[in-house]
């Protein structure tokens, strides 16, 4: 903070501002908000971004687990319809092969 008149930790609100910006990994450099209103908007924006990143992480994790389950299911059904039956139904095998490839490319 090269242009500030007072030290950033000189008051309680300045210390809270420094902690929250560091915690949210925003880490402003050359341009920083000077007013309490500007700091509040920046904090709310940082909190909203952090929450949305957490939610997106859970959605991606769920999608990956779902895709993996689909791959395993279709692999089993291909094996079952080719190796564990006396007469192979090629239409079923092709259907499960298509679903298998779709599950891989999700």
Is 47 in contact with 67 (CB distance < 8 Å)?
A: no
Distances (CA, A) of 73 to 13, 43, 78: 56, 45, 9
Q: Which of 67, 78, 76, 59 is nearest to 102 (CA)?
A: 67
The domain made up of 12-104 has a fold known as Helix Hairpins (1.10.287)
pTM above 0.75, yes or no: no
Render pLDDT for 29-70 as a digit per residue (tens, 0 to 9).
Answer: 656 777 888 888 888 888 898 899 999 999 999 999 999 999
**pLDDT, tens only, 61-83:** 999 999 999 999 999 999 999 99
The residue extents of the domains of the chain are 12-104
- Residue 29: predicted pLDDT: 62
């Amino acid at each position: 903070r090269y242009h500030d008149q007072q030290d950033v930790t000189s008051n309680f609100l300045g210390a809270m501002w420094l902690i929250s910006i560091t915690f949210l990994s925003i880490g402003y450099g050359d341009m920083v908000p000077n007013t309490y209103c500007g700091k509040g908007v920046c904090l709310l924006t940082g909190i909203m971004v952090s929450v949305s990143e957490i939610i997106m992480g859970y959605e991606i994790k769920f999608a990956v687990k779902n895709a993996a389950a689909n791959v395993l299911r279709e692999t089993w059904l291909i094996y079952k319809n080719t190796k564990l039956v006396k007469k192979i139904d090629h239409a079923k095998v092709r259907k499960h092969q298509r679903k298998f490839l779709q599950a891989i490319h999700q």
